[in-house]
Amino acid sequence: MSDTDTPIRQPGPWDPRPEPRSADPAPTAVAATPEDKDQSLVWALLSTGLMAAFLWWVTGSVIVAGAVLIGLFVHEAGHALVMNGLGMGPARIYIIPFLGGLAKARREPESEWHGVLVSLAGPAFGLLAMIPFVGVWMATGQGEWLMGAFFIAMLNLVNLVPAPPLDGSKALGPVLTRVHPRLEQLVLLVIGIAVVWWGLTTGRFILAAFLGLAVFSHLKRGVWRPAWGTLSWPEAGRSLALYLATAALCAGAAVGALLPMTEGDAGEAIRLGLSYLGVR
């Protein structure tokens, strides 16, 4: 008898029932993309406390140190609000002891134009922190509160300097790239070296070291813009106009805060403001 003639045994009631076979294979589990962990409350309080102590040590004034710290939070909140509004959030704010703050998005901007808006939002929105300090000065007449308002304005104005990694480099850099990719690298390099030299000659050694590392990273990056592309010419024009308007607003706020101390003399207020920056 051949194998083909062997009768096939039918399963009986005592045989185990076969497992039902699924029509479609089970989907393979996809690993979730790991997300950055939020800053712990302990580290957030510790970093804020260290920053507050550092500012008090540098300024010698509790009011001025508090003003700069509050101005820092409001500045970063401006970045975060625009990030969230443009679909980049939820953004998170970090305080970096001895250096400043950081607003970090979860997604990259959809366009270079959105990146410019995010960069300029911090300095523009940050000026709102001046309002309560000017109000207390008007109520008490104590000049220290006015100095707090002045340093808030200067915090935002200095951030507009087009040197990496300050906001000015992120707002003006794409405009320079629209003209020529090498122009951004050259301008940011020259201004970055000048700012590092300013930090060294005025005793701001921590800031100088931080900016020096940023300038070095800028050199290593080369001339390529991020993957989301460059500005169009109309966007470049709007970016430049917004940058200049924001810089003028911050400078005007800084001079305005000093005018009561100089009896309304704008020239003397400008000279006084420059002296705080170590410019004689």
**3-state secondary structure at position 11:** coil
With beta carbons less than 8 A apart as the criterion, state whether 141 and 87 touch: no
**The Cα angle at residue 240 between residues 197 and 79, in degrees rounded to 5:** 75
The mean per-residue pLDDT over the stretch 87-102 comes to 91
38-49 residue pLDDT tens: 668 888 889 999
- Position 22 pLDDT exceeds 60: no
pLDDT at 49: 93
The pLDDT score that the predictor gives to residue 43 is 85
For the stretch 218-249, pLDDT in tens is 777 665 555 556 899 999 999 999 999 999 99
Closest CA to 227 of 110, 148, 113, 126: 110
- Give percent above pLDDT 70 in the chain: 83
Residue 126 has pLDDT above 60, yes or no: yes
pLDDT of residue 118: 97
* pLDDT of res. 28: 42
Report the SS3 class of residue 85. helix
How does the average pLDDT of the chain come out, rounded? 85
Percent of the chain with pLDDT over 90: 62
Among 97-111, 171-185, 203-217, 225-239, where is mean pLDDT lowest? Answer: 225-239
Q: Other CB atoms closer than 10 Å to residue 189's CB: what's the count?
A: 15
- Phi (first) and psi of residue 19, to 5 degrees: -70, 135
Q: Is the pTM of this model over 0.85?
A: no
Q: What is the pLDDT of residue 277?
A: 85
Average pLDDT estimate for 9-14: 50
Please give the average per-residue pLDDT across 53-59, as a whole number: 92
DSSP 202: T
Q: If pLDDT is split at 50, 70 and 90, which confidence band does 35 have?
A: low
| Residues 103-119 pLDDT 10s | 999 999 999 999 999 99
Residue 165: pLDDT band (50, 70, 90) is: confident
What's the pLDDT at 155? 96
**Residue 5 in this model has a pLDDT that exceeds 50:** no
Locate 57 and state its tokens. 């040590």
